[in-house]
Structure 1
Amino acid sequence: MKLSFRLLAAALPLLLAACAHKEAVRPQADYTVLLDQQRAREHQLAKADHWVLQGKIGVSGQVNGKSDGGSGTLTWTQNGDSYEFVVRGPVGSKSFRLSVTPDGAVLDGLDGGPVRSPDAESLVEKALGWRVPLRDLRAWVLGLRADSGPAELKFGPDGLPATLTQDGWNVTYPAWNTTREPAVPNKVFAENPPNKVRLSVESWSFQ
């Protein structure tokens, strides 16, 4: 009897620890469930084409073998298929306004006056030395997959996208604004080595 009591006393801490471990570990929802939740987010945000994002942007990388980059405050105003991308850099750095419509893009604020091009991405790359995936970024900044091709998603413990891989870019989402419904990202980091784009969102305004 004494032996049995001693064995029970010795085993009790191990049993309690095992129970505590089981309670602490919560398996993530099935990937199919998370993907369905993502599709629901994408459906909700599919018509969100009038909004203003304010925050900060940082760009670094190489174009034609030359390293370049920059940073500044960003105001991104989306109006349907048109948008305005205003970057104000620190003193001595690049500040500009990029206005894009279905008819083309205009870059203003740099030496030499306004520059125009049918394609916004090539215009920014040529004029600024920045390689920014503007076509896809409109979707990625909302935490959505772009319609440009296959995409791979991985989800975090909160059930929201943690990484998105598409068109050669790896997009990570270190922080989300979950006070909104549906949730939107607070940080968006896109990388296609050696090029990087980092967005830190301070405020969202949807119309």
Structure 2
Amino acid sequence: MSRFRTRVAALLAAGLLAGCATARIEAPAVPAAEAEARQLERERTMAADTDWGFEGRVAISNARDAGSGRLEWRQSGARFEVSLTAPITRQGWRLSGGPGGATLDGLPGGPREGGDAEALLREATGWEIPVRSLPYWVRGLRTDPRGAVLQFGPGGRPSRLSEGGWTIDYSWPADAQAELPSRVEARRDDARVRLVVDRWTDGAEAP
């Protein structure tokens, strides 16, 4: 592993999410057609909400490395700003960008730029993170309903989404009216990203 990637692993290698408990939903089953209709309405409504964010914890792993840290995400339309901080050292990196490209700051060697945020992050850190799709998936939405397979759980809320070669599992708050999930786990082959959301924001607060 290069010194650069070793530094990234060190920044992430603190804290575990395994002990984080998430309340389970015990709600009546909802017919599939009704659950799909509710989901389509959610997707239409949330598509209009272009400024939002969240704070939480993330654990990332692949075939060789694993680590965790604090994550803050701010979304404004197609533009995003993501900050990850190791809980002990308080060091970390920031990825920002949009359709025109992305910039990665905070790691040795100075800022790095690229036309594709996912490719930039993968090349610089070795982590496989679906940056383009996470703004949808983290809120329990599909990027394209025609190319996704969505399963619903009790209460008619998404329980598993398969899209773009990734499988995303959801846990929801105990409040049956909650519109946003509390825990998201995305995996593809050896790559895995686990998110525990501590707080959703309206996007006005910078990471």
User: Which position in structure 1 is the counterpart of 2:115?
Assistant: 118
SS in 2 for 1:134: coil
1:43 partner SS: helix
**1:1-207 aligned within 5 A:** 28-62=29-63, 67-91=64-88, 95-147=92-144, 150-176=147-173, 178=175, 183-206=179-202
Between Structure 1 and Structure 2, which shows a larger proportion of helix residues?
A: 1
The amino acid that maps onto 1:145 is R
In structure 2, relative to structure 1, the CA distance for the partners of 1:102 and 1:201 (3 Å cut) is same
The 3-state SS of whatever aligns with 1:112 is: coil
For the Cα contact (< 8 Å) 1:71–1:89, is it kept in 2?
yes
- Give 1 or 2: higher strand fraction: 1
| Residue-by-residue CA offset, 1:143-192 (whole Å, 9 max, x unaligned) | 000138611111111210000010111100022474766x0111010011
Question: Equivalents in 2 of 1:148, 1:123: separation in Å?
Answer: 27
RCO higher in 1 or 2 (8 Å CA, sep ≥ 6)? 2
Quote how far apart the aligned CAs of 1:32 are.
Answer: 0.8
Number of positions where the alignment pairs a residue of Structure 1 with one of Structure 2: 177
Counterpart of 1:202 in structure 2: which amino acid?
D
TM-score for both structures, normalised by structure 2: 0.79
Which range moves more in the overlay, 115-124 or 93-102? 93-102
Higher-Rg structure is 1
Gaps of 5+ in 2: 1-26
> Contact 1:177/1:185 (CA < 8 Å) preserved in 2?
no
Aligned partner of 1:19 in structure 2 is none
- Report the Cα distance in structure 2 between the residues aligned to 1:114 and 1:34, rounded to whole angstroms: 44
- Report the secondary structure of 1:33's partner residue: helix
Q: Deviations over 1:100-125 (max 9, x none)?
A: 12221000000000000000000111
- Mark the CA change 1:177 to 1:202 in structure 2 (over 3 Å): closer, same or farther: farther
Task: Extract structure 1 runs of 4+ deviating beyond 3 A.
Answer: 90-94, 176-181
RMSD: 2.1
Which residue matches 1:12?
Answer: none
3-state SS of the aligned residue for 2:141?
A: coil
CA contact (8 A) 1:69 1:129 kept: no
Partner of 2:4: none
Paired AA for residue 128 in structure 1: T
